Amino acid sequence: MTVIAGAVTAVVCAVLAVLIVAGVRGRVADYKRQQATSAALQLVYLINHEEVPPELDAPESVVLQVLNPRGRVVAGTPGMRAKRPIARFVPDERSVYATKVLCPPAGLEGCMSVEAFRISEEDGDWTIYAAAESIPWYVSAGLCTFAISLSLLIVLLASLRTWRTVDQALAPVDAIRAELSEITARRSGHRVPVPENRDEIRLLAEAANATLDRLDAALARQRSFTSDASHDLRSPIAAARAQLEEALMYPDDVDWPRTGRTVLQSLDRLQAIVTDLLELARLDAEKWKDDETVDLGALVTIEVTRSERSKRIATHLQDAVTVRGDRLRLVRLLTNLLDNAERHADTQIDVTVRQEDGVAVLEVLDDGAGIAEADREVVFQRFARLRDAQARDANGTGLGLPIAREIATSHGGDLTIEDSERGARFVLRIPRDTPERDGKKDGDQGADRKR
């Protein structure tokens, strides 16, 4: 920023210096020409009214010559009377004045602006030459030195000011960077300082603190998840170990088939937990197996038909409600919801598929006791199990509903629990994929089917 500011200031100063020099040069050149013209006009008056003295007075750097009708120099400034005429051009017949720049005039050095005046007398036409020094483009060395020195001083002051301003502006950023470098997994509770000024840096600090808040929340969830996973993994392992140790202590008195079945149940629970953990890890990594158009109504029909449930399932399906996503994961989501509903339903589970304003909706409603409003978010926490759920299924992992919500989120949707007259009503909403079908609107295709 300092270099850019210095460069811009230098360009501006250079342009201004050129304009100033050009303006001064024009003024000086006009002044010199006016001096020469004024001196020549005085000679015109003298020629018309009295004799012209051989030695003429003129301002410094102005050269005068008076030529008689025969073209002979009869008067001039010091040193110019004895010389030949400094110019040969004369005004034309229709004018009494003419000017040219000669480089150099006869008997002189350097370029000069020469003005010629014609005076008509009885004995013929007299000619007056007045030459003024031509001003160089830089006017004078002193003026150039002053302009360059002033420009360099302005550039230096602008660069120093910019450096100081940028340094002050970036000081909060440096403080934020220093604090971020100090924050680690063990010191994650720290936050970056927020400047008082309401500017972009304040927004940056607030965004960094918000990110750290989310990071701390994620670390807390990870620690809780690790603790809960360790506890749930230890339980079946400890149970199987206890069974085997007891059996080995009294091998002759043990019912080995019964012991094997008990250990196998513990291993089944352990396998279910590991499988769910792997599924959660894949969902957290957002690894898709496939991406296709899935008809939710057809998916529900196939899943309900192929699986045997202990409770009656009633479906209310609207045709052509499609989404884009992973078919196997959507099947897993539906299965988890049905498994949960089956554990808590008294007699019946209702599954509904419909569309609402471009959103595909899947509802799973059981006729059980329902879930208290205060616990509607708790059930989506990993390894969280309500007392009623533990009583109904002691071998549950507490990961079914969290996996279902993660699948919904990975498809750009959401899974929530909404109010119902009886039981728990799980509602999945996913943005629709609506292919064109013979130019008809999706709302006109099909009607609800009940089973």
Looking at the 3D structure of the chain, how many domains does it have? 3
Beta bridge partners of 353: 317, 362
34-84, pLDDT tens digit by residue? 888 888 888 777 777 777 777 887 777 788 888 888 888 888 888 787 788
CA dist., res. 292 & res. 327, Å (int)? 7
Q: Are residues 98 and 210 in the same domain?
A: no
Burial of residue 451, with CB atoms counted within 10 A of its CB: 0-12 exposed, 13-18 middle, 19 or more buried: exposed
47 occurs within a structural domain: yes
Domain that holds residue 59: 1-133
334 and 228: one domain? no
Domain boundary among 251, 281, 311: 281
Which token pair is 276?
Answer: 């769910």
Whether residue 69 sits in one domain with residue 37:
yes
Same domain? For 206 and 238 the reply is: yes
Q: Do 315 and 292 share a domain, yes or no?
A: yes
In a domain, 444, yes or no: no
3-state helix, strand, coil in the chain (%, to 5): 50, 20, 30
The answer to whether residues 124 and 6 belong to one domain is yes
Domain-located, residue 252: yes
The parts of the chain modelled with pLDDT lower than 50 are 434-451
pLDDT tens digits for 91-104?
A: 887 888 888 888 88
DSSP for 332-343, written as a single string: HHHHHHHHHHHH
Q: What is the CATH number of the domain that holds 223?
A: 1.10.287.130
CA–CA separation, 419 vs 370, rounded Å? 9
Asked, for residue 174, whether it belongs to a domain, the answer is no
Structural domain includes residue 178 = no
Same domain, 331 and 211: no
- Residue at 108 is within a domain: yes
Domain boundary among 233, 250, 281: 281
Clarify whether residues 11 and 117 are in a common domain.
yes
Q: Are residues 313 and 407 in the same domain?
A: yes
330 and 416, same domain (yes or no): yes
Residue 317: beta bridge partners? 353, 449
The answer to whether residue 157 is domain-embedded is no
- For residue 426, give both structure tokens: 């799980």
Residue 409, domain CATH: 3.30.565.10
pLDDT of residue 387: 63
For the entire predicted model, the pTM comes to 0.47
**270: in domain:** yes
Per-residue pLDDT at 240: 82
Which residues on neighbouring strands pair with residue 325, listed in sequence order? 292
Q: Looking at the structure, do residues 212 and 302 belong to the same domain, yes or no?
A: no
pLDDT of residue 229: 66
What distance in Å separates the CA atoms of residue 430 and residue 422, rounded to the nearest whole number? 25
Write down the pLDDT at residue 187. Answer: 62
Q: Specify whether 107 is located in the same domain as 39.
A: yes
Domain boundary among 101, 133, 165: 133
